[in-house]
């Protein structure tokens, strides 16, 4: 099957793109074309207008700001994976990027495409929720900032209006100084080219990485594919904050994650299995983040009976 007829637009600036969106209310935005082309080819989407963002160079960047790092919507997965700045400041994001599908997808897919698709199994949505990112959204009439936790509303349903596009994600770096922070992104996938069964995005900041028992000052945990939106598990975060990491605390993390998870059945994993995986991967990912934040080698990330 081939796509239904459509009019193709190729803007070179953000202003041109937003003007086109304002003019054509039924238009679809084309970013990396890792999903939309398939949907259109099967006529599950039949837009009259297609706006290709691949020549809008102003949307492709990774830049350091005063207390944050900003990533443009048209930044490729491969660029995020190989960014020295992100590896230093926000290593969760390169780790999430390198686990997306295969090289051909990572060479073409984009941050904005993933956020715009809003699949709860996506890597970036969970990572950005864990990191308290803010999305910069623009239209022909205004620019606005939306906390990423408010952007995802339901399965593939977001706060983005028809005449708006995502310009960038702005991620604060102040809460997580690299010298005493560890981050991890762990996922269980049935095969490389598939969506993960469940993923866990975590960050841990300790008081003193050289102490005998470093205390967790702040922790973050978000799960992918464990609910109809990326799932921040604040009860799990609270279970490890204020003390040195322990097996008891990690057990509480697993319990909080399984209690919060509300996934859908899938062909390769029913909801009960996904709930169990959510608890186990939350535990493993937080343990890995703690290990990376400290100079202590632990065996907290060893498998449990969950």
Same domain for 255 and 288?
yes
Q: What is residue 3's predicted lDDT score, i.e. its pLDDT?
A: 78
Tell me, yes or no, whether 1 lies in a domain.
no
**Last-in-domain residue among 145, 172, 199:** 172
Tell me, yes or no, whether 22 lies in a domain.
yes
Same domain for 104 and 130?
yes
* CATH assignment of the domain containing 27: 3.30.43
Q: What is residue 306's predicted lDDT score, i.e. its pLDDT?
A: 39
Q: Identify whether the C-beta of residue 138 lies closer than 8 Å to the C-beta of residue 14.
A: yes
Same domain for 228 and 266?
yes
Same domain for 231 and 287?
yes
Question: In angstroms, rounded to a whole number, what is the distance separating the alpha carbons of residues 60 and 79?
Answer: 9
Q: What is residue 304's predicted lDDT score, i.e. its pLDDT?
A: 52
Assign 3-class secondary structure to 99-133: CCCCHHHHHHCEHHHHHHHCCCCCHHHHHHHHCCC
Question: In angstroms, rounded to a whole number, what is the distance separating the alpha carbons of residues 136 and 72?
Answer: 9
- Distances from the Cα of 190 to the Cα of 193, 207, 261, 266, 283, angstroms: 9, 37, 20, 12, 20
Tell me, yes or no, whether 72 lies in a domain.
yes
Same domain for 151 and 192?
no
Q: What is residue 285's predicted lDDT score, i.e. its pLDDT?
A: 98
* Domain count for the chain: 3
Same domain for 154 and 77?
yes
End-to-end Cα distance, the chain: 45
Question: Could you give the angle at which helices 247-260 and 271-293 cross, rounded to 10 degrees?
Answer: 140
* CATH assignment of the domain containing 282: 3.30.390.50
Sign of CA dihedral 98, 81, 186, 258: negative
Tell me, yes or no, whether 143 lies in a domain.
yes
Which candidate, 236, 281, 90, places its Cα nearest to that of 170? 90
DSSP one-letter code for 244? B
Tell me the per-residue pLDDT of 168-197, one tens digit each, with 9 for 90 and over.
999 999 999 999 999 999 999 987 778 899
Tell me the per-residue pLDDT of 79-121, one tens digit each, with 9 for 90 and over.
999 999 999 999 999 999 999 988 888 999 999 999 998 999 9
Q: What is residue 190's predicted lDDT score, i.e. its pLDDT?
A: 83
Same domain for 288 and 197?
yes
**Last-in-domain residue among 172, 190, 222:** 172
**pLDDT by residue, tens only, the chain of 306 residues:** 687 788 999 999 999 999 999 999 889 998 976 566 667 766 767 788 999 999 999 999 999 999 999 999 999 999 999 999 999 999 999 999 999 988 888 999 999 999 998 999 999 999 999 999 999 999 999 999 999 999 999 988 999 999 999 999 999 999 999 999 999 999 999 877 788 999 999 999 999 999 999 999 999 999 999 999 999 999 999 999 999 999 999 999 999 999 999 999 998 899 999 999 999 999 999 999 999 999 787 888 765 543
Tell me, yes or no, whether 158 lies in a domain.
yes
Q: DSSP letter string over 150-195?
A: HHEEETTEES--TT-EEEEEEEE-TT--GGGEEEEEEEE-SSTTS-
Tell me, yes or no, whether 200 lies in a domain.
yes
| Range(s) of the domain holding residue 147 | 62-172
Question: Mean pLDDT score of the chain, rounded to an integer?
Answer: 93
Same domain for 18 and 69?
no
Same domain for 182 and 168?
no
Same domain for 111 and 195?
no
Same domain for 164 and 216?
no
Tell me, yes or no, whether 2 lies in a domain.
no
Same domain for 36 and 11?
yes
Q: Which residues pair with 186 in a beta bridge?
A: 200
Tell me, yes or no, whether 263 lies in a domain.
yes
Q: What is residue 145's predicted lDDT score, i.e. its pLDDT?
A: 98
């Amino acid at each position: 099957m081939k796509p239904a007829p459509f009019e193709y637009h190729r803007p070179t600036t953000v202003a041109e793109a937003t003007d086109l969106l304002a003019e054509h209310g039924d238009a679809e935005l084309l970013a990396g074309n890792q999903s939309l082309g398939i949907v259109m080819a099967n006529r599950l989407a039949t837009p009259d207008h297609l706006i290709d963002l691949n020549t809008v160079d102003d949307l492709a960047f990774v830049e350091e700001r005063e207390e944050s790092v900003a990533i443009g919507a048209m930044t490729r997965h491969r660029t995020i994976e190989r960014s020295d700045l992100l590896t230093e400041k926000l290593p969760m994001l390169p780790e999430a990027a390198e686990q997306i599908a295969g090289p051909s997808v990572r060479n073409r897919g984009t941050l904005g495409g993933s956020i715009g698709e809003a699949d709860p199994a996506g890597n970036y949505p969970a990572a950005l929720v864990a990191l308290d990112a803010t999305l910069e959204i623009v239209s022909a009439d205004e620019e606005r900032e939306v906390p990423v936790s408010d952007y995802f509303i339901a399965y593939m349903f977001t706060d983005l209006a028809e005449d708006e596009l995502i310009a960038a994600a702005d991620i604060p770096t102040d809460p997580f100084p690299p010298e005493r922070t560890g981050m991890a992104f762990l996922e269980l996938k049935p095969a490389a080219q598939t969506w993960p069964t469940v993923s866990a995005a975590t960050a841990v900041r300790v008081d003193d990485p050289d102490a005998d028992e470093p205390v967790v000052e702040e922790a973050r945990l978000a799960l992918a594919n464990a609910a109809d939106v990326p799932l921040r598990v604040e009860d799990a975060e609270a279970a490890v904050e204020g003390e040195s990491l322990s097996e008891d605390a990690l057990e509480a993390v697993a319990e909080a994650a399984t209690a919060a998870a509300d996934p859908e059945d899938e062909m390769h994993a029913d909801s009960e299995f996904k709930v169990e995986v959510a608890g186990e991967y939350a535990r493993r990912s937080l343990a890995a983040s703690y290990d990376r934040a400290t100079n202590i080698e632990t065996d907290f990330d060893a498998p449990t009976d969950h």
